[in-house]
Structure 1
Amino acid sequence: MLQNNPELKSKIDQLWNKFWAGGISNPLTAIEQITYLLFMKRLDELDLKRQSDAEWTGEKYISKFEGKWIPPEYRAKSRDGDTQSETDKKLVDGKMYEIDKRTLRWSEFKRMQAEEMLQHVQGKVFPFLKDLNGTASNFTHHMKNAVFIIPKPALLVEAVKTIDDIFEVMERDSREKGQAFQDIQGDVYEMLLSEIATAGKNGQFRTPRHIIKLMTELVQPQLGHKIADPACGSSGFLLGAYQYIVTQLAIKAGTTNLLPDEDGFVRTSVAAALTEKAQAILASSLWGYDIDATMVRLGLMNLMMHGIDEPHIDYKDTLSKSYTEEAEYDIVMANPPFTGSIDKGDINEALSLSTTKTELLFVENIYRLLKKGGTACVIVPQGVLFGSGGAFKTLRKILIERCELKAVIAMPSGVFKPYAGVSTAILLFTKVWGPLDKVAQPATEYVWFYDMCADGYSLDDRRTKQEGYGDLQDIVTRYQARYPETDTDRTAQCFMVPRADIEAEDYDLSLSRYKQDVFEEVHYDPPSVILDRLIQAEVGNVNEADLAKVQSGIVRELLELKGMVG
């Protein structure tokens, strides 16, 4: 949506440039610091809105900025053996460090002088942010090691001013275009995340949001489903599931003004139409894990920016022995790391594949995490579809026999640019038999293959939006209408292949193995006629006798060639 708002895009670019010029050149560090500032601003805005809403409705609302706050290190901690007077003394000491919460508001501290503002935000506002949801909170737990490292007062002042400008544009857009503020705010954060254009050390990179929307549309998560991403990064898939569910509920509740976005999907993040019970169910439905602490924090913030107050995002290696969940989720969506390998001694013993390749272990782990009847939609490098090693074949056999492998969608190699040029595919499967079940009958009857040629964006490093939606909407329509009896034309863009054919090909799942190319017969002139034309282009209309006198050069060579084919 930001493609249509050059002003907002320009402000976000300004923010990046200021951080770059201010000495914070690592994109991941910059996004983290920008996130904290956005969060402070959002907290103030949200609190003021809830206050005015409460006044309007006559309900009671206690502001997050009401009263005093004592930093955790100065709070009274009674130890065994402390006398009452010692505890009282600590309480008195703590009171010395009380801070008026009102001064921690964005709207208050933004008026300070540069030096004072930096000290105030660094020493008071940021520690308050980290302590925000109480010690038991997941957010507080993951913020424990977060650091505020904006080094220069001038950079903080500039960043605060630019963020104010960004919010002003968002509010104006919301008023003029009728788009929900929550959605625009989410778009802005997504735009910031998209600037992380360097693959992480674990081979992680952002999944394009239109691909997430496509995958969510294929899976169709419902309210009450328990949804997970075992390699969640910035939580794009969980957000995609959340937006899909909220949108479906809004449509059911009678919302009619939702228009398709630039990728042809109808989406909103606004949960206003949901009952309190539905919001509580939805908030407890989303579970994400990642092995990068920074990504965990960004994932938490991303979901919170979109209105999910207490997301379940955790720091965890889901392939290791320490992660023991099994048959837990109705839906798993993921784009696991492609290039990594894990220490053999740390691999979870419940995983049966004899390999250290993470792209194979993750798919098996996802199968393990699904409840029976649960569905997964996963991005894999195309090598997983045809690799000849034992672990590759075993995994594909699991997908065909223990799962109903519904679809294999081959994607063009430019989808993940500028991060990587690797060719990938989407696998969509439903778990039927558990790992220890005896397979009475292989679960897959037919697999639907689709050859995605375009995704609505240029397939170069720039990934510019093209006219139309590429194949995205066609994939959804054709997948939902797939039928084994009629989808048999293997020269078409999509078709169905029976299990027997896949077994005969040693469980190979690459589309090229089954797709039949159509060869068009082309008629060419005889070589002598083509050579006559070339000679004529060189010398014009010259008779045979004069041509024979030519001793050298290209014409002599063409004449000799003509003599050979003559």
Structure 2
Amino acid sequence: MVTGELKNKVDGLWEIFWTGGLTNPLDVIEQMTYLMFIRDLDDSDNVHMKESIMLGLPYKSIFEENVTIGDRKVPGNQLKWSVFHDFPAQKMYANMQENVFPFIKNLHGDKESAYAKYMGDAIFKVPTPVMLDKIVTAMDEIYEKMEQLRSEDVRGDIYEYLLSKLATAGVNGQFRTPRHIIKMMVEMMDPKADDLICDPACGTSGFLVESSEYLRKKKKAEVLFNAKNKEHYMNHMFHGYDMDRTMLRIGAMNMMTHGVSNPNIEYRDSLSDQNEDKEKYSLILANPPFKGSLDYDIVSADLLKVCKTKKTELLFLTLFVRMLKTGGRCACIVPDGVLFGSSKAHKDIRKAIVEEQRLEAVISMPSGVFKPYAGVSTAILIFTKTGHGGTDKVWFYDMKADGRSLDDKRSEVKENDIPDIIARFKNLEAENDRKRTDQSFFVEKQEIVDNAYDLSINKYKEIEYIPVEYPPTSEIMANLRALEKEVQESMAELEKMLGDEMA
């Protein structure tokens, strides 16, 4: 999490945008994203240059001697943050408008790439040279502080903090998924080098970014040092859909900044007939919109055949099953109502996952996880698409703490079940002997069937009541009389002392 001096510096940068007239949080984050990307381009180019010298490998800098912008030739070093940040305000502003911004808009050679699609209509909105000068200075201070902290997650934490400014939920109930919850889900699913990963409600691409980072850290040799796997990782592995172009633009840049050159991030209504994906992906990670209600005529007929409902959370679950290839896995966040709702649609989708696929785990999360944006109680469902059943028993976990306070402040606390959840999920054989009074346990499929496919943990969890033994009534009465006698003696002694004083 971003705290202390770094948080103050980020807030100060936000204030510069705000007082300068950019008051829409999406606009601010979008402009910050561009500028962070421009600065990171310079840093990453320097790193690649040093590595090429050390390893004796050829490398051509993107800031070569002259860069073509339109019909002009511009000295490449003028596009480098480390050079132009020292320009006078007016010259830096003109350089940004006329050179740097057109350069990054056309940076990706493939005009069909996600980057080209969403940068094509990007607009530089910083209104004045003085404001740009203040922003660049503030960003240099932030990066200097990041360098001092030397934490591998600090850049992601800053981006997460910026995204937290998007405090308003959309009409369909979408809101930001906390980064530590995303990391937990990705680690539990353990993405593979040949996976085809999709988030059909991707927003700023949090699940895709974390999956890419997990593969880079945990499977670096397999992913990046194998030509075939690297090509797949850079161009084919990651797929995300959303209906907000600004979110898509931020998501595409977020992925590129994290080293994925060509993510497949597209404008698409995942629940409509516009989405023709069937049996395509091997891993779906998602936190689909909750509380939404759609008209039947805009929902794919395929989905309505399986689950006739207007509720987005149920339609997305149906969609995940359709989009997964056989053997594909899904980890998704659902509101608690999905687990125990009594409507036909609720029961139908639960039955379909339990009977026709292989439901593996239900992780109940406390209601404060999504504060301050929403207080809704949620759970994580993990299942594998088989097409012919396979559920024999389901693992339940009652998460009580996620390392943050469960109020609007979400401050860091010591209590954290996440490491325990990951460890236990990766060793489910050891869970067989756990009791219903424990924090995690198995429930046999037949019991779930007998309970109308209810998946709420409270249906199966047993609470252990410790009997409290009280002494017999006669002993209590004797103690009361003794106390009464003691009070009377104390009162008599007090009266005697007062009488002596008055005399």
TM-score, structure 1 as length reference: 0.79
- Whether 1:481 aligns to 2:457 is no
Please tell me the residue identity of whatever aligns with 1:308.
Answer: V
Structure 2 equivalent of residue 22 of structure 1: 20
CA distance in 1, matches of 2:393, 2:56: 59
Please tell me the residue identity of whatever aligns with 2:379.
Answer: A
Question: Is the CA contact (8 Å cut-off) linking 1:487 and 1:494 kept in structure 2?
Answer: no
Per mean C-alpha deviation after superposition, the further-off stretch among 415-424 and 283-292 is: 283-292
CA distance in 1, matches of 2:375, 2:353: 26
Match of 2:230 among 279, 290, 309: 279
CA distance in 2, matches of 1:527, 1:334: 59
Structure 1 equivalent of residue 493 of structure 2: none
Structure 2, unaligned stretches of length 5 or more?
A: 491-503
Structure 2 equivalent of residue 107 of structure 1: 82
Please tell me the residue identity of whatever aligns with 1:122.
Answer: Q
In the comparison of the two structures, how many residue pairs are matched? 483
Question: Is the CA contact (8 Å cut-off) linking 1:15 and 1:162 kept in structure 2?
Answer: yes
Question: Is the CA contact (8 Å cut-off) linking 1:230 and 1:334 kept in structure 2?
Answer: yes
| Deviations 1:126-150 (CA, angstroms, capped at 9, x unpaired) | 2222121133332011112222211
Structure 2 equivalent of residue 37 of structure 1: 35
Structure 1 equivalent of residue 458 of structure 2: 512
Question: Is the CA contact (8 Å cut-off) linking 1:186 and 1:305 kept in structure 2?
Answer: no
- Superposed displacement of residue 298, structure 1: 1.2
| Secondary structure, counterpart of 1:467 in structure 2 | strand
Structure 2 equivalent of residue 70 of structure 1: 69
Structure 2 equivalent of residue 350 of structure 1: 302
1:484–1:367 Cα change, 3 Å? farther
Structure 2 equivalent of residue 554 of structure 1: none
Structure 2 equivalent of residue 48 of structure 1: 46
CA distance in 2, matches of 1:514, 1:488: 13
Structure 2 equivalent of residue 169 of structure 1: 145
Match of 2:409 among 462, 468, 484: 462
Match of 2:283 among 311, 331, 349: 331
CA distance in 1, matches of 2:395, 2:281: 24
Question: Is the CA contact (8 Å cut-off) linking 1:488 and 1:497 kept in structure 2?
Answer: no
1:279–1:195 Cα change, 3 Å? farther
| Secondary structure, counterpart of 1:162 in structure 2 | helix
1:53–1:501 Cα change, 3 Å? closer
- Whether 1:120 aligns to 2:95 is yes
| Secondary structure, counterpart of 1:394 in structure 2 | helix
- Superposed displacement of residue 98, structure 1: 4.8
Please tell me the residue identity of whatever aligns with 2:127.
Answer: P
- Superposed displacement of residue 2, structure 1: 4.7
Question: Is the CA contact (8 Å cut-off) linking 2:69 and 2:102 kept in structure 1?
Answer: no
Question: Is the CA contact (8 Å cut-off) linking 1:340 and 1:359 kept in structure 2?
Answer: yes
CA distance in 2, matches of 1:279, 1:353: 39
- Whether 1:421 aligns to 2:396 is no
| Secondary structure, counterpart of 1:318 in structure 2 | coil
Please tell me the residue identity of whatever aligns with 1:393.
Answer: K
Match of 1:224 among 184, 189, 194: 194
Match of 2:468 among 522, 526, 529: 522
| Deviations 1:245-264 (CA, angstroms, capped at 9, x unpaired) | 222224x78xxxxxxxxxxx
CA distance in 2, matches of 1:279, 1:9: 36
- Superposed displacement of residue 276, structure 1: 4.4
| Secondary structure, counterpart of 1:376 in structure 2 | strand
Per mean C-alpha deviation after superposition, the further-off stretch among 331-340 and 442-451 is: 442-451
Structure 2 equivalent of residue 494 of structure 1: 440
In the TM superposition, 1:295-306 aligns within 5 A as: 295-306=247-258
- Superposed displacement of residue 58, structure 1: 4.9
CA distance in 2, matches of 1:237, 1:186: 13
Please tell me the residue identity of whatever aligns with 1:148.
Answer: F
1:489–1:512 Cα change, 3 Å? same
- Whether 1:245 aligns to 2:215 is yes
Question: Is the CA contact (8 Å cut-off) linking 1:186 and 1:306 kept in structure 2?
Answer: no
Question: Is the CA contact (8 Å cut-off) linking 1:403 and 1:432 kept in structure 2?
Answer: yes
| Deviations 1:363-414 (CA, angstroms, capped at 9, x unpaired) | 1101111111111001000000011111100000011011110011111000
CA distance in 1, matches of 2:219, 2:241: 26
Match of 2:125 among 120, 129, 149: 149
Please tell me the residue identity of whatever aligns with 2:69.
Answer: I
| Secondary structure, counterpart of 1:47 in structure 2 | helix
| Secondary structure, counterpart of 1:392 in structure 2 | helix
CA distance in 2, matches of 1:48, 1:493: 49
TM-score, structure 2 as length reference: 0.88
1:210–1:394 Cα change, 3 Å? same
- Superposed displacement of residue 513, structure 1: 1.0
| Secondary structure, counterpart of 2:132 in structure 1 | helix
CA distance in 1, matches of 2:286, 2:431: 31
Per mean C-alpha deviation after superposition, the further-off stretch among 305-314 and 198-207 is: 198-207
Match of 2:59 among 51, 61, 70: 61
- Superposed displacement of residue 184, structure 1: 4.2
In the TM superposition, 1:76-115 aligns within 5 A as: 95=71, 97-115=72-90
- Superposed displacement of residue 288, structure 1: 1.1
| Secondary structure, counterpart of 2:315 in structure 1 | helix
Tell me the percent identity: 44
In the TM superposition, 1:303-452 aligns within 5 A as: 303-351=255-303, 352-433=306-387, 439=388, 442-452=389-399
